[in-house]
Amino acid sequence: MAWSTRELAELAGTTVNTVRHYHRLGLLDEPVRRHNGYKQYEVRHLVRLLRIRRLADLGVSLSQIGADSAGMPDALRELDAELAASIERIRRARAEIAEILRDDAPADAPAGFASVAAHLSESDSSIIHIYTRLYDESALADLRRMVEVDAETGAVGQEISDLPPDADEATRQRLAERLAPTLAQNLIDYPWLADPAGRLAKSARVTQQTFIDAVRELYNPAQIDVFSRAGLLAHEQLHEADATDGEAL
């Protein structure tokens, strides 16, 4: 039995162009030609073509198929690792999509924050996106809990988000005093906030500079002033609490 190129391609479930491509790459031997010049493929060509298609279907690259077969086990192990990583990425993507749909959150909400996305201002959402590149997973998990608590307690976040850049002194101080207890509690619940070196995904220098640049661009001067005042007040409250505890002892 002999087949033409078209017949071979149909039998193997591929195309004439693919067969010709394999010839050009040297993966499939050229068959003898009939007296009329047409190619005449034999069983060995069909078997070789089916073997190539089998490996290609598994995801083995054509360059690897054409290499020494002794290296095929290593190629398959590498391919298997890549497929496992792809499956994990797909699994995580599906889980995140389900979370976004469940909470009716924006599709571009920071990963893991879909449940609280509605409580985040545009600036807060943006800076959390940046945090996902600067901090490790454990730090981000703590950050999610902080945002959840703020959302549940109706913290001062919305007022700060609406704060105009020319807000007066009294308004800034009032918001700072309202925000400070939340910051102080966060420092108690998450001590690493005072020394985040062990939770960084990037170098301390890159993290610090990126954070400074992001805050300057994402928040207006009045908001930054409130954050600064609240941070100082939070540390003062903690020092006072420590001093009171020391006196009690």
Q: Residue 199 belongs to what domain range?
A: 108-248
Q: Specify whether 19 is located in the same domain as 90.
A: no
Alpha-helical runs (H) found in the chain: 5-12, 16-25, 43-58, 62-65, 72-102, 122-134, 137-153, 157-161, 169-189, 204-218, 221-248
Last residue of a domain, one of 48, 76, 102: 102
CATH of residue 62's domain is 1.10.1660.10
Last residue of a domain, one of 45, 77, 102: 102
Its pTM stands at 0.71
Last residue of a domain, one of 16, 39, 66: 66
Reported as half-sphere exposure (CB side, CA atoms, 13 A), residue 79 has a value of 15
Those residues with Cβ within 8 angstroms of residue 129's Cβ, 6 or more apart along the chain or in another chain = 110
Q: Is the pLDDT of residue 247 over 70?
A: no
Please state the rounded mean pLDDT for residues 34-47: 89
How many structural domains is the chain composed of? 3
Q: Specify whether 126 is located in the same domain as 205.
A: yes
Q: Specify whether 242 is located in the same domain as 144.
A: yes
pLDDT tens for 147-175 read 888 876 666 888 999 999 999 999 999 99
- Average pLDDT of every residue of the chain: 91
Whose CA is closest to 97, among 88, 84, 85, 107?
A: 107
Q: Specify whether 45 is located in the same domain as 92.
A: no
pLDDT tens for 196-231 read 999 999 999 999 999 999 999 999 999 999 999 999
Q: Specify whether 17 is located in the same domain as 55.
A: yes
Q: Specify whether 165 is located in the same domain as 84.
A: no
Please state the rounded mean pLDDT for residues 130-139: 95
Q: Specify whether 120 is located in the same domain as 238.
A: yes
Q: Specify whether 112 is located in the same domain as 230.
A: yes
Q: Specify whether 60 is located in the same domain as 139.
A: no
Q: Specify whether 59 is located in the same domain as 76.
A: no
pLDDT tens for 63-80 read 989 877 788 898 899 999
* pLDDT value of residue 16: 96
* pLDDT value of residue 142: 95
Q: Specify whether 75 is located in the same domain as 44.
A: no
Please state the rounded mean pLDDT for residues 37-44: 90
Q: Specify whether 168 is located in the same domain as 115.
A: yes
C-alpha–C-alpha distance, residues 131 and 193, integer Å:
13
